[in-house]
Amino acid sequence: MNLEGKRILVTGSSRGIGHAIAMECAARGATLVVHGPEVDDELTQSFAKVSALSPSSIQVTAELSDPTAIAALFDTVHEQLGGIDALVNNAACQNEYGVLDLPQEDWDRIMAVNLRAPFLCAQHAGRHWAAEAKGGSIVNISSVHAQQPRRNFTHYSTSKGGLEQLTRCLALELGEHQIRANSIVVGAIASELTPKERCDAFATAIPMGRVGWPEEIAKTAAFLCSDDSYYMTGASITVDGGLTLGFCASRKDL
C-alpha cells in the first residue's frame, strides 16, 4: 500500500487509534493533518512522531462539537496543504449513563461530536472534491456497538449506528464524483476509551482471546485511504478479533 502524494486528515489523531492511523499512513508516504481539540502534550507528542516520518505534515486544532471550528479547520488545511485526498473521521467521545438518567446535554454533545462532525467534515471535503472533480476517500471509524446495543451507552451506540448509515448515504450520493465512503467496525481496542479492566472483561468474549491494538485498526484505515481499495464504497469492514461472531462463539461449553 503506497500512500505517497496523499494528504490525509485524521480527526482525533492526538492519541489512541487516530494516532496509530496517522503513523501508519505517514510511514506509507502520506502527508498527515494531525488533529486534536486543543494544543496539549498529547497533540504535540503525536505530531512530533508523525512529522518525524512525514515532515510535510501539519497540526491543527478544532473542537468538533462546534461547526464553526470545523469550517475553520478546513480553511486552515486548504491554506496550508491545498486540500486533502482522504478524510478519516476517527474522533469520538463517550460517557456512561442509563437511559433514564442520561442528561440531554450529554446526548446532544455525543451526537454532535460522533455523528454531526463526521457529516460536516465529509461535506466540507466532499464539496471540494466534487468541485475539483478529483475524487476522494472517506473512512468512518465505527464500532461493534453500531449493531450491538450496549447497556449505559445508548447515546454512543446510537451515534455509531447513525455513522454506519451516514457511510452508506455518502457512498450512494457521492459515488458519481468518485468519492468513496467506507467504515471500519472496531471491536474492543486498548486505548483511553477502553481502560485495562474493561479490556480484560472484553477479552473473555472475544474468540481470539484478547483485545486489539490501535495499530491493528490502522492498517485497515490505510488500505481504505489508498488506491488499493479504489472500487470499494459503502462497505463496513469489521476488525474485532471475532467479537461480533456471537455469544456461542465465545463459549467453548456451548
Ligand X SMILES: NC(=O)c1ccc[n+]([C@@H]2O[C@H](COP(=O)([O-])OP(=O)(O)OC[C@H]3O[C@@H](n4cnc5c(N)ncnc54)[C@H](O)[C@@H]3O)[C@@H](O)[C@H]2O)c1
Q: Which residues bind ligand X (CB under 6 A)?
A: 12, 14-18, 36-37, 63-65, 90-93, 113, 141, 143, 186, 188-189, 191-194
As a whole number of angstroms, the distance between CA 129 and CA 139 comes to 15
- Tell me how far, at minimum, the Cβ of 95 lies from ligand X, in Å: 11
- Tell me how far, at minimum, the Cβ of 17 lies from ligand X, in Å: 4
As a whole number of angstroms, the distance between CA 23 and CA 46 comes to 9
Known catalytic membership, residue 231: no
As a whole number of angstroms, the distance between CA 222 and CA 184 comes to 11
As a whole number of angstroms, the distance between CA 21 and CA 69 comes to 23
Q: Please work out, in degrees rounded to the nearest 5, the angle formed at the alpha carbon of residue 158 by the alpha carbons of 236 and 218.
A: 40
- Tell me how far, at minimum, the Cβ of 15 lies from ligand X, in Å: 5
* Closest CB to ligand X among residues 31, 90: 90
* Closest CB to ligand X among residues 50, 113: 113
Q: How many helices (H) and strands (E) does the chain have?
A: 8, 7
Sign of CA dihedral 169, 172, 176, 179: positive
Show the cell assigned to 250: 465465545
* Closest CB to ligand X among residues 11, 226: 11
- Tell me how far, at minimum, the Cβ of 247 lies from ligand X, in Å: 19
* Closest CB to ligand X among residues 12, 126: 12
As a whole number of angstroms, the distance between CA 149 and CA 168 comes to 20
Could you give the residue numbers annotated as active site?
156
